[in-house]
A and B are shown apart, each in its own frame.
Chain A
């Protein structure tokens, strides 16, 4: 069965089902059934046999099964389907054996659940091969664990399904041409493989799969053929429609549009209540909103007027709400309505592509834009902004420029801190890597000295694996650190400080920096990962500043009241440097060492994200001059403070 043409053509998958049913008595009294359904992402095929041979009432059971299948959601779950079938009251005295298979459209895969003695065989190259399945009978002889199988299948595969009235397909004495015409094969199975004392159903399913290139998912897919509505001839008078002779409207499938392309009604100052007629002022507002939109899209003045008139007449004449969608190349209007509405509107917009779907009761107009939006260098969102802000393209561009500069700065800061992170990882790995090298050498030495036995080898392996585990844990630690979350939570400042110091431990020790932590009890509502970034920057800065120092290098992190201070004894900052310290790209570090973004970003985060105070001051730590960076948390964010 072929996919409907107007749906997205990603892969061309075809399932051809041929079947022959030979009931023991009548079709009505036969428990065998076959159901096929089309889904957005594939095809469902059910072949089943309702238990209770010789009983009556199969019609009701089949009808109930059909209903359950019809009620499945677009996102099918085979297990849910089968469990819902098992819950059917009609099946409680009958039982059911079933093959429920789903041929996936996007991948060459068959998913299926197969319980009981319905037979399923796959023919690829030679003889039929039975598919894995589970024995039992649904409802009456239930299996403890329902299994779902998935199977990669080849293009031009063939499947044979049959009820238990058909004896085993494989290994027959006079095998047919398994790859021959499907009808012949079905006939062969019914004529030669049934014992005539039971209902028999033989199904041949031919599968074709040919993947083609996936089109751009964000594009609107064009409706296929040209609309059949006759375009009004230039010399035909408008009076035609008033005489009652309407242009013929023929049903056409409509293009697929997505919600995110939709221009919000508020942009156009149009009331979204579809039943309400526009008042005079609303019409005026709508006209203005529409004009701004069309002007931005590059419509000429005449076109702007025409479109405004059209939309307002849609509201007036047919009392219809409409939706506008925008893609890179088209303006698409959809209007809910029946055939008579379509016939009324069709003559009004002869320069657009007009289509109508009876099934969906949807009228659609597609108007090609004078210029593609990406030619105008405006993304769709920009266009919405443009209309919203009521501004011109130049002003909008400078706003966008400013925003993108901030983004670039944030990115660079992220890269900078990632760079530092990688430095820390490298530092923490140096020692274990040395260990690994040592173990390898010792192993070799033992071998040459004939000392290597199973026990020693086991010890070496255990040691090496331990080291590898440690190194892997380092990655996890840093990765957790880098994971960004956008949720705020009540976080203990001391805990965050401890984590950051822990991560930096190796580097601080190798730089002989003495760290002193003081205070606790301060809990603040913040984004912990953002605040960790601030602390990393400040601790790194202190560590770098202390490197030049010959005598004791000290770093003190203090929590007092609602404030956190980071103080070093690196000599402090001259006033001219302090004035510029939080400027982006300003750094006193030697070239290659500092990006000049650290303090800028730290200040931004504290002031913008935490709405708190960030100050730099020269201070004294244990009688030695240094720098104090203080973060005074906004009281409304403080949940508990250090006493």
Chain B
């Protein structure tokens, strides 16, 4: 299977998603480190969907360059303080540690985010090794 999509609305969905990501990565032939890092990225994305958006979707797929793509999409109000502020380590609009977005950037081989008042799309790529 080349792609899988999960809908996330509550915290109960997160564990199901993480299991799905883990399974997908292992099946795709990802090494132990890649699997672990994908799970971490997936966890950050999933929890952000639960905490800050009215839920959303998280998909995992393999792109044309044989890279794993984790993509989260929500139709929330976007990052109100702007991406620059939200990417600062320690910044949080909730009550978390504020390390989520910077961690995703660091862990991924490639990262893109599209933020607007009609939602946020985050794409994180990992090279399969």
Cross-chain contact A78 with B12 (CB below 8 angstroms): no
**Residue in A closest to B14 when the chains form the complex, CB atoms:** A472
Cross-chain contact A468 with B84 (CB below 8 angstroms): no
Cross-chain contact B116 with A145 (CB below 8 angstroms): yes
Let me know if B127 is at the binding interface, CB within 8 A: no
A431 to B109, CA, bound (A): 44
Given A150-B87, A151-B112, does the pair A472, B11 have CB atoms closer than 8 Å? yes
Let me know if B88 is at the binding interface, CB within 8 A: yes
Given A80-B82, A104-B87, A111-B83, does the pair A152, B116 have CB atoms closer than 8 Å? no
**Residue in B closest to A39 when the chains form the complex, CB atoms:** B84
**Residue in A closest to B113 when the chains form the complex, CB atoms:** A150
Determine which of B11, B79, B111, B114 lies in contact with A109 in the assembled complex, contact meaning CB atoms within 8 Å.
Answer: B111
Chain B, residues 1-45, CB within 8 Å of chain A (1/0): the string is: 000000000111001100000000000000000000000000000
Q: Find the residue from A80, A148, A468, A469 having the highest chain B CB count within 10 A.
A: A148
A105 to chain B, nearest CB (A): 10
A78 to chain B, nearest CB (A): 6
Cross-chain contact A149 with B82 (CB below 8 angstroms): no
Chain A, residues 339-359, CB within 8 Å of chain B (1/0): the string is: 000000000000000000000
Cross-chain contact B82 with A150 (CB below 8 angstroms): no
**Residue in A closest to B108 when the chains form the complex, CB atoms:** A152
Let me know if A77 is at the binding interface, CB within 8 A: yes
CB within 8 Å of B: which of A423-475? Answer: 465, 468-469, 472-473, 475
A108 to B108, CA, bound (A): 12
CB within 8 Å of B: which of A265-289? Answer: none
CB within 8 Å of A: which of B73-95? Answer: 79, 81-85, 87-89
- Give the B interface residue count (CB, 8 A): 27
Cross-chain contact A107 with B87 (CB below 8 angstroms): yes
The SS class assigned to the A binding surface is: mixed
> What residues of chain A lie closer than 8 Å to B79, measured between beta carbons?
148
Q: What's the A-B contact tally at a CB cutoff of 8 Å?
A: 84
A639 to B110, CA, bound (A): 58
Given A106-B89, A107-B102, A107-B105, does the pair A148, B10 have CB atoms closer than 8 Å? no
> What residues of chain B lie closer than 8 Å to A150, measured between beta carbons?
83, 87, 111-115
A41 to B11, CA, bound (A): 34
CB within 8 Å of A: which of B48-93? Answer: 79, 81-85, 87-89
A148 to B80, CA, bound (A): 11
A192 to B74, CA, bound (A): 44
A77 to B85, CA, bound (A): 7
Chain A: interface residue count, which band? Answer: 20 to 34
Given A132-B114, A150-B112, does the pair A472, B10 have CB atoms closer than 8 Å? yes
**Residue in B closest to A111 when the chains form the complex, CB atoms:** B83
A465 to B83, CA, bound (A): 35
Cross-chain contact A111 with B87 (CB below 8 angstroms): yes
CB within 8 Å of B: which of A461-498? Answer: 465, 468-469, 472-473, 475-476
Cross-chain contact A152 with B112 (CB below 8 angstroms): yes
Cross-chain contact A41 with B88 (CB below 8 angstroms): yes
A469 to B118, CA, bound (A): 29
A465 to B36, CA, bound (A): 25
Cross-chain contact B12 with A472 (CB below 8 angstroms): yes
A251 to B92, CA, bound (A): 39
CB within 8 Å of B: which of A69-91? Answer: 75-80
A75 to B111, CA, bound (A): 23
A27 to B28, CA, bound (A): 57
Let me know if A51 is at the binding interface, CB within 8 A: no
**Residue in B closest to A102 when the chains form the complex, CB atoms:** B84
A472 to B82, CA, bound (A): 32
**Residue in B closest to A76 when the chains form the complex, CB atoms:** B84
> What residues of chain B lie closer than 8 Å to A472, measured between beta carbons?
10-12, 15
Let me know if B97 is at the binding interface, CB within 8 A: no
A539 to B108, CA, bound (A): 49
**Residue in B closest to A145 when the chains form the complex, CB atoms:** B116
Determine which of A77, A108, A145, A151 lies in contact with B84 in the assembled complex, contact meaning CB atoms within 8 Å.
Answer: A77
> What residues of chain A lie closer than 8 Å to B83, measured between beta carbons?
78, 111, 148, 150
> What residues of chain B lie closer than 8 Å to A80, measured between beta carbons?
82
> What residues of chain A lie closer than 8 Å to B84, measured between beta carbons?
41-42, 75-78, 102, 104, 111
A149 to B115, CA, bound (A): 6
Let me know if A228 is at the binding interface, CB within 8 A: no
Let me know if A147 is at the binding interface, CB within 8 A: yes
A472 to B9, CA, bound (A): 13
> What residues of chain B lie closer than 8 Å to A78, measured between beta carbons?
82-84
A446 to chain B, nearest CB (A): 22
Given A106-B88, A148-B82, does the pair A469, B10 have CB atoms closer than 8 Å? yes
> What residues of chain B lie closer than 8 Å to A76, measured between beta carbons?
82, 84
**24 intermolecular pairs with C-beta atoms under 8 Å apart:** A41-B88, A75-B85, A77-B85, A78-B82, A106-B88, A107-B102, A107-B106, A108-B105, A109-B111, A132-B112, A132-B114, A146-B117, A148-B79, A148-B82, A149-B112, A149-B115, A150-B112, A151-B113, A152-B111, A468-B15, A468-B16, A469-B10, A472-B10, A472-B15
Given A109-B87, A150-B115, A473-B12, 6 additional A-B pairs, CB 8 A: A42-B84, A102-B84, A107-B102, A109-B105, A465-B16, A468-B16
Residues on A facing B (Cβ under 8 Å) = 41-42, 75-80, 102, 104, 106-109, 111, 132, 145-152, 465, 468-469, 472-473, 475-476
Question: 6 smallest A-B Cβ distances: which pairs?
Answer: A77-B82, A152-B111, A472-B12, A150-B113, A147-B116, A148-B115
